[in-house]
Amino acid sequence: MDLSDLTRDLDALRREAMTAVAAASDVAALTALEQDILGKKGRLTSVLRGIGALAPEDRPKVGSIANTIRISIEGAIAERGTTLRQGELAGRLRDEAIDVTTPGRPIRRGTLHPINETIAEIAEIFGRFGFVVYEGPEVEDDVRNFQMLNIAPDHPARDLWDTLYVDVEGHLLRTHTSPGQIRVMHQERPPIRALLPGRCFRYEAVDASHASEFFQVEGLMVDEGTTMGDLKGLLEEFAKAMYGGDKRTRFRPGYYPFTEPSVAFDVECIVCGGSGCPACSRSGWMTILGAGMVHPVVLQYGGLDPERYQGFAFGMGVERIANLRHRVGDLRLYMENDLRFLEQFT
């Protein structure tokens, strides 16, 4: 090998390298190419191994040529690298672009269950008259659920309130929210204005109009000089707020062991307006709750002197109120947690 052979090989390597650098398609390929040509075990080094066979005076010339070639290849690699990195950066910016003007994904908001929504509305209306919400336990004892409400163990009215018994100690799933009256009277001193919403239970075969679980809202007012007129005025205001101001209302005689006298409170049928339809059994009226003056015996069980204090109480089925508001025909829908039903209430 002589000087011209080596010079030719170096020049061939330079041209090949320049072509390859220009053709490198990404930074990784360029880095590999740089290693292949200029690396410690690269092709430029291996060509220069032939330098030992040259005459001593030729060696510096080859060294100089090789150095020039190295510098030009390095320059080409650096330039190509800059171009490729800019291209890759632009590509990433394009691929990872975030359109800050895109509208956000809407957060799915739930809605109140129609029963809770109805309870909230009832509580809001009575709240305007100073009634405060209390809660009683769903597992009650026989004494508060029945006996202190003037329903003795052998009282025939118990047939109306057959329930599920929890154990032999006389605990049961409460059949109404009325035991809350006793709890509030033990807890507060008059004047009392309490609203007691909650879940109740009956031993009942379930169908479209009967449920073994249902909700009631109980109301209790106790003060000196409370009268039936106060009760009637309050309930009329409630009916106006709930069903509109033009609805007629009426009291009918009713019976509950824990109130005396007792009444059923009717509102003019909200379907037919009073002319009579299947929804109101052609009577033109719908019963929305039961009420009455608190029986003196119940006041006594509540620790209050019936000579000094009088009170009234009322209780309504929340499903019935919700049915009338939303025209729901089947009680079971409230308990089935079917979103196709629940999503209709916003």
Closer residue to Zn ion in complex, CB, 13/280: 280
Closer residue to Zn ion in complex, CB, 139/279: 279
Q: Write the CB contacts of 313 (distance below 8 Å, at least 6 apart in sequence).
A: 178, 181, 218, 219, 220, 221, 258, 259, 291, 292, 294
269 binds Zn ion (CB under 5 A): yes
Closer residue to Zn ion in complex, CB, 54/272: 272
255: left (phi over 0), alpha (psi -120 to 50) or beta: beta
Site string for Zn ion, 213-252 (x = CB under 5 A): ----------------------------------------
Segment lying near Zn ion (by CB under 5 A), choices 43-51, 117-125, 206-214, 265-273? 265-273
Say if residues 292 and 271 touch (Cβ distance below 8 Å).
no
Say if residues 79 and 23 touch (Cβ distance below 8 Å).
no
Which of residues 272, 297, 328, 335 is near Zn ion by CB under 5 A? 272
Number of residues that bind Zn ion (CB under 5 A): 6
Closer residue to Zn ion in complex, CB, 170/284: 284
C-beta nearest to Zn ion: residue: 269
Give the chain's end-to-end CA distance (angstroms, integer).
93
Say if residues 171 and 141 touch (Cβ distance below 8 Å).
yes
227: left (phi over 0), alpha (psi -120 to 50) or beta: beta
Closer residue to Zn ion in complex, CB, 176/320: 320
Taking the complex as a whole, the smallest distance from the CB of residue 279 to Zn ion amounts, in Å, to 5
195 binds Zn ion (CB under 5 A): no
Provide the token pair at 14: 């330079």
Closer residue to Zn ion in complex, CB, 149/267: 267
Give the C-alpha separation, 261 to 255, whole Å.
8
Q: Hey, which residues does 268 pair with through a beta bridge? A: 285
277 binds Zn ion (CB under 5 A): yes
Taking the complex as a whole, the smallest distance from the CB of residue 287 to Zn ion amounts, in Å, to 12
Taking the complex as a whole, the smallest distance from the CB of residue 248 to Zn ion amounts, in Å, to 13
Task: Using CB under 5 A, list all residues that contact Zn ion.
Answer: 269, 271-272, 277, 279-280
